[in-house]
Amino acid sequence: MNIFFQQLLNGLTLGSVYSLVALGLTLVYGILHIPNFAHGALYMVGAYMAFFATGSLGANYWVAMAASAAAVALLAVLSERLVFHRLRHAPPLHDMIAAIGLLLFLEAVIQAVWGADFRRLPSPYPQIVRAFDLTAPAQRLMIIAAAFGLMAGLHLFLKRTILGSTIVAMAQNREGAALVGIDATRVSMLTFAISGALAAVAATLFAPINLIYPAMGHLVIMKAFVIIILGGMGSIPGAIVGAMVIGFAESFGAFYVSTDYKDIIAFALLVLILSVRPQGLFTRGVR
Partner 1 sequence: MLRLDGVTLNYGSFRALDGIGMHVKSGELVVMLGANGAGKSSLFLAVSGLRRLASGSIKVDGDEITGRKPSSIVQAGLVQCPEGRKLFPEMSVKKNLILGAYVYRNDKKANQRMLERVYGMFPILHGKRDAAAGSLSGGQQQMVAIGRALMGRPRVLLLDEPSLGLAPLIVKQVLEAVKAINEAGTTVLLAEQNAYAALQIAHRAYVIESGRIVMEGDRETLLGDERIRKAYIGA
Report the residue count for the chain.
287
- Min separation Cβ 84 and partner 1, Å: 18
Q: How much of the chain is in helix, strand and coil states, percent to nearest 5?
A: 75, 5, 20
> Could you tell me which residues come within 8 angstroms of residue 271 by beta carbon, excluding any fewer than 6 positions away?
none
Provide the minimum distance between the beta carbon of 164 and partner 1 in the complex, in angstroms, as a whole number. Answer: 11
Give the 3-state secondary structure of residue 128. Answer: strand
Report the C-alpha gap between 123 and 232 in whole angstroms. Answer: 34
3-state secondary structure of 223: helix
Q: How far is the CB of 87 from partner 1 (least distance, A)?
A: 18
Nearer to partner 1, 130 or 160 (CB): 160
Q: Which is nearer to partner 1, 138 or 178 (CB)?
A: 178
Angle at 39 between CA 34 and CA 44, to 5 degrees: 170
User: Rounded CA gap, 12 and 175, in Å?
Assistant: 39
Least spacing, CB of residue 278 vs partner 1, in Å: 21
Judged by beta carbon, residue 131 or residue 179, the one nearer partner 1 is 179
CA gap 170, 31 in Å, rounded: 7
Q: With respect to partner 1, which residue has the nearer C-beta, 115 or 176?
A: 176
Nearest to 124 by CA among 105, 101, 141, 100: 141
Q: Give the nearer residue to partner 1 in terms of CB position, either 112 or 162.
A: 162
Strand, helix or coil for residue 45: helix
Nearest approach in angstroms of CB 157 to partner 1 is 14
Q: In terms of CB distance, is 91 or 181 closer to partner 1? A: 181
Q: Which residues here bind partner 1, judged by CB under 8 A?
A: 162, 165-166, 168-169, 172-173, 175-183, 284-287
Q: What is the dihedral of CA 253, 254, 259, 263, to 10 degrees?
A: 60
Task: Name the residue nearer to partner 1 (CB basis): 184 or 229.
Answer: 184
Report in angstroms how near the CB of residue 177 gets to partner 1 at its nearest.
8
Minimum CB separation from partner 1 for residue 228, in Å?
17
E strands in 95-146: 128-131, 134-137
Q: How many Cβ atoms are within 10 Å of 263's Cβ, its own excluded? A: 14
